[in-house]
């Protein structure tokens, strides 16, 4: 009788999903960023859920309740962005200690609602239960997408270009800087890193613009760090990949954080990091259109490599080493 600790998160998930059966009206079941449901022909719904636990996903000493609420919303919005779905409705379920202050709870809910509202979604219900241990907040989010238009993890083909939105690695670096520097991390020079950690941008506008431009063949959101998420995409698509670290532009903020943390910018970029950025496999013929769409949506898009035949595996070109496919594991 193995325990979750012995199996690790990925294997636990694999076993849970393998034990499930699908039914009618389910276009995409467990195993992608979100499920795709088809209440009727022509329109599909995309459904996802994500939970934050006190002490692990948020520290009450950093950020306000509204920040943490917005971050929970961003985590869920990011799953819909990775499916190119337009967010619509959310349910917020919470496990709270009786000592929780009402005002702080309203602030948190308002953080969730504002972050959802900025992308057209609304909080329509929820649930409350009392807990003795860590508090938790679980958001289920529904979005809409034209039938068949949802991005999947499994559509990448050899020759596709790999792009990332924004600056992956910054969220994890922000967290490490906060932990290492304490109050000094609040200085202006670290602000963009702390914001990447505490207030990640939801890539909904970029996703909807890119979907309209067409050319994205596969997508996944970066919630566990680039190596693990790239491995998920490659596995689902049955392809390999080369990430060209030399070609990927320098992030001066990661460089500065690396010096402070006695590590390298590359390590920060490739470590587990709740970035909620998108990793995209793009048809090379659509490159210009995708770059223009991302720019119009105000989102940085960087080409970091390309999709290869599966035999090549996944390699990091500059360092020449095979990628470490392990992202963050909740149970190890």
* Of 104 and 295, CB closest to a copy of itself: 104
Phi, psi of 222, rounded to the nearest 5 degrees: -90, 90
The residue range among 44-52, 171-179, 184-192, 295-303 that interacts with a copy of itself, by the rule CB under 8 A, is 44-52
The residue range among 3-11, 170-178, 193-201, 304-312 that interacts with a copy of itself, by the rule CB under 8 A, is 3-11
In angstroms, what is the minimal distance from the CB of 190 to a copy of itself? 27
Which of 64, 93, 300, 312 touches a copy of itself by CB under 8 A? 93
* Of 62 and 89, CB closest to a copy of itself: 89
User: Token pair of 6, please?
Assistant: 């012995």
Q: Are 275 and 222 in contact (CB under 8 A)?
A: yes
d(CA 194, CA 190): 6
Residue 91 touches a copy of itself, criterion: CB under 8 A? yes
* Of 19 and 183, CB closest to a copy of itself: 19
Q: What is the DSSP string of 190-239?
A: GHHHHHHHHSPPP-HHHHHHHHHH--EEEEEEESS-HHHHHHHHHHHHT-
* Of 138 and 160, CB closest to a copy of itself: 138
Residue 132 touches a copy of itself, criterion: CB under 8 A? yes
Residue 35 touches a copy of itself, criterion: CB under 8 A? yes
Residue 179 touches a copy of itself, criterion: CB under 8 A? no
Residue 97 touches a copy of itself, criterion: CB under 8 A? yes
Residue 170 touches a copy of itself, criterion: CB under 8 A? no
Closest CA to 265 of 273, 11, 293: 273
Name the 3-class secondary structure at 11: helix
d(CA 150, CA 81): 10
**222-281 binders of a copy of itself (CB under 8 A):** none
d(CA 192, CA 170): 8
Q: Are 276 and 202 in contact (CB under 8 A)?
A: yes
In angstroms, what is the minimal distance from the CB of 54 to a copy of itself? 9
In angstroms, what is the minimal distance from the CB of 114 to a copy of itself? 10
């Amino acid at each position: 009788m193995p325990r979750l600790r012995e199996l690790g998160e990925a294997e636990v998930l694999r076993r849970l999903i393998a034990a499930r059966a699908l039914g009618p009206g389910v276009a995409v079941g467990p195993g992608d960023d979100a499920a795709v449901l088809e209440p009727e022909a022509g329109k599909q719904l995309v459904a996802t859920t994500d939970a934050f636990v006190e002490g692990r996903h948020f520290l009450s000493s950093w950020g306000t309740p509204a920040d943490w609420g917005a971050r929970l919303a961003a985590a869920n919005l990011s799953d819909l962005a990775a499916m190119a779905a337009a967010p619509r409705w959310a349910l917020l379920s919470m496990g709270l200690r009786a000592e929780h202050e009402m005002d702080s709870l309203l602030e948190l809910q308002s953080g969730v609602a504002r972050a959802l509202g900025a992308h057209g979604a609304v909080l329509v219900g929820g649930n409350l239960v009392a807990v003795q241990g860590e508090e938790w907040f679980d958001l289920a989010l529904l979005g809409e997408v034209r039938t068949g238009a949802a991005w999947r993890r499994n559509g990448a083909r050899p020759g596709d270009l790999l792009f990332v939105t924004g600056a992956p690695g910054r969220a994890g670096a922000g967290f490490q800087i906060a932990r290492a520097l304490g109050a000094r991390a609040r200085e202006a020079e670290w602000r963009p890193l702390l914001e990447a950690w505490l207030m990640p941008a939801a890539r909904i506008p970029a996703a909807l613009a890119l979907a309209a431009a067409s050319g994205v063949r596969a997508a996944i959101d970066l919630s566990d760090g680039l190596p693990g998420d790239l491995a998920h995409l490659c596995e689902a698509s049955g392809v390999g990949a080369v990430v060209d670290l030399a070609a990927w532009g320098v992030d001066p903020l990661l460089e500065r954080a690396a010096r402070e943390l006695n590590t390298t910018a590359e390590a920060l970029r490739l470590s587990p990091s709740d970035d909620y950025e998108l990793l995209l496999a793009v048809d090379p013929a659509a490159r210009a259109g995708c770059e223009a769409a991302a720019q119009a949506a105000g989102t940085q898009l960087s080409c970091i490599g390309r999709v290869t035949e599966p035999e090549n595996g996944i390699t990091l070109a500059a360092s020449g080493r095979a990628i470490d496919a392990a992202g963050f594991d909740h149970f190890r």
